[in-house]
């Protein structure tokens, strides 16, 4: 019995080494004590019940772990070099280990290796992908200040026919973000969420164009006196809040779609990055153009006799809004989009402890 178990472990080790050779990963014990409480170096990844189950299987190295699916009872075949790869067909179905040559004669046997190690690893990698996705989505969401506002605060500046539509899509994007790990465990729900996120992206782009046109009209509206100029300035700033919210919905829904689909093909990511950044550039330029018009109108306004005018409040707000757009530097949001899209191509270290907790290098 001991000899059989020893042989089984040896076969598992060979299968594990074969998986390492065909994949791009290193699996090794940590040789030094890590201070995971240092949040500047490490980030703890939150795992759902299913992810914890997979990680537990890897930690405990349980060959019979059923959480990894059918692979726990599967084998991989290895042929002898130089022999034709034709297995014997069995009457009851399937194949035997005997190899037949081109003349139909028996020429050798194929070796079968258990895939329990692969099953545990693939299950763990799947769990880490979901946990990492939640972590990186949290990082990008922290940059979306408008998306993080409470709904009652958002309702204070949203207006018009787009109000209900935009609120509905914002609520859905938040739902998709908050329940990422749970939804990823249900294929039907995951597919439905991807479809809805694609719709959210379309709605966001329509709303962006709507608010862009409103902003252009607002800053160019006629004003007979300073009160009119104040009113259109307030209107423009309110539109800017709605516009920022729509742009952030566009960003969040686009990134959520990528993370839900787990499609990190280079051609797709490069295309999406180009599309998003070009569109964001156009939005920033149009916003800059509109508020530059408003700033000029405020600067050039000459007060009438006995008219008390204090332009400092509006000029300060608009100057602060224009400055980053006119600096020529890449915005924080653009950098976050770039990082979020290319995180899958980075080499990261993950640390899996005996209790099943998972940490990675902080971004």
pLDDT tens for the chain, residues 1 to 363: 444 344 444 544 554 455 445 445 555 555 566 666 676 666 666 655 555 544 554 544 434 333 344 444 444 555 445 444 555 565 666 555 666 666 666 666 665 555 555 555 555 555 555 556 666 677 777 778 787 778 778 878 887 777 888 989 999 999 998 888 888 888 899 999 999 999 999 999 999 999 999 999 999 998 888 888 999 999 999 999 999 999 999 999 999 999 898 888 889 999 999 999 999 999 999 999 999 999 999 988 888 777 777 888 889 999 999 999 988 888 888 888 888 888 766 656 666 666 666 666 655
Whole-model pTM: value is 0.68
Show contacts of 226-233: CB within 8 Å, 24+ apart: 226/301, 226/303, 226/307, 226/309, 229/297, 229/298, 229/301, 230/314, 232/294, 233/294, 233/298, 233/314, 233/318
| Alpha carbon distance 68, 118 (integer Å) | 9
Residue 226 makes CB contacts below 8 A (sequence gap 6+) with: 301, 303, 307, 309
Supply the pLDDT for residue 278. Answer: 95
Query: Can you give the C-alpha Rg of the chain in angstroms?
Result: 29
Contact 181, 286 (CB under 8 A): no
Number of H helices, E strands in the chain: 11, 8
Q: Tokens at residue 264, please? A: 């990190």
Supply the pLDDT for residue 83. Answer: 46
Closest-CA residue to 281 (of 336, 331, 214): 331
Cα dist from 183 to 61, 81, 202, 318, whole Å: 27, 45, 22, 42
Supply the pLDDT for residue 204. Answer: 94
Closest-CA residue to 69 (of 123, 16, 121, 23): 123
Cα 282 to chain center, whole Å?
A: 23
Contact 214, 270 (CB under 8 A): no
Cα dist from 133 to 46, 139, 142, 185, 202, whole Å: 10, 10, 14, 13, 23
Q: Widest CA span of the chain, in angstroms?
A: 111
Q: Tokens at residue 226, please? A: 């300073």
């Amino acid at each position: 019995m001991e000899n059989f178990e020893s042989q089984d472990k040896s076969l598992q080790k060979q299968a594990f080494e074969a998986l390492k050779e065909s994949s791009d990963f290193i699996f090794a014990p940590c040789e030094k004590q890590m201070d995971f409480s240092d949040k500047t170096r490490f980030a703890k990844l939150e795992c759902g019940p299913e992810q914890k189950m997979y990680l537990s299987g890897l930690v405990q190295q349980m060959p019979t772990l059923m959480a990894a699916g059918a692979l726990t009872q599967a084998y991989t075949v290895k042929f002898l070099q130089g022999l034709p790869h034709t297995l014997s067909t069995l009457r009851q179905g399937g194949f035997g280990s005997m190899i037949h040559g081109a003349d139909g004669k028996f020429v050798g046997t194929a070796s079968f290796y258990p895939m329990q190690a692969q099953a545990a690893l693939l299950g763990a990698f799947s769990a880490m992908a979901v946990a990492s996705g939640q972590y990186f989505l949290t990082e990008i969401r922290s940059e979306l200040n408008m998306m993080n506002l409470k709904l009652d605060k958002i309702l204070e500046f949203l207006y018009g026919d787009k109000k209900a539509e935009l609120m509905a899509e914002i609520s859905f994007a938040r739902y998709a973000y908050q329940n990422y790990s749970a939804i990823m465990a249900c294929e039907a729900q995951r597919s439905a969420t991807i479809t809805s996120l694609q719709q959210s992206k379309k709605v966001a782009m329509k709303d962006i164009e709507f608010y862009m046109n409103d902003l252009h009209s607002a800053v160019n509206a006629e004003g007979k006196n300073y009160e009119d100029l104040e009113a259109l300035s307030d209107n423009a700033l309110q539109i800017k809040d709605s516009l920022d919210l729509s742009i952030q919905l566009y960003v969040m829904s686009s990134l959520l779609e990528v993370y839900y689909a787990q499609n990190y093909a280079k051609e797709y990511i490069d295309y999406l990055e180009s599309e998003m950044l070009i569109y964001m550039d156009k939005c920033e330029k149009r916003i800059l153009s509109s508020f530059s018009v408003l700033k000029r109108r405020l600067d050039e306004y000459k007060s009438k006799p006995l008219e008390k005018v204090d332009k400092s409040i509006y000029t300060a707000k608009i100057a602060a809004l224009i400055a980053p757009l006119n600096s020529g530097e890449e915005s924080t949001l653009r950098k976050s989009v770039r990082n979020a899209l290319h995180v899958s191509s980075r080499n990261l270290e993950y640390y899996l402890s005996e209790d099943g907790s998972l940490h990675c290098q902080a971004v």
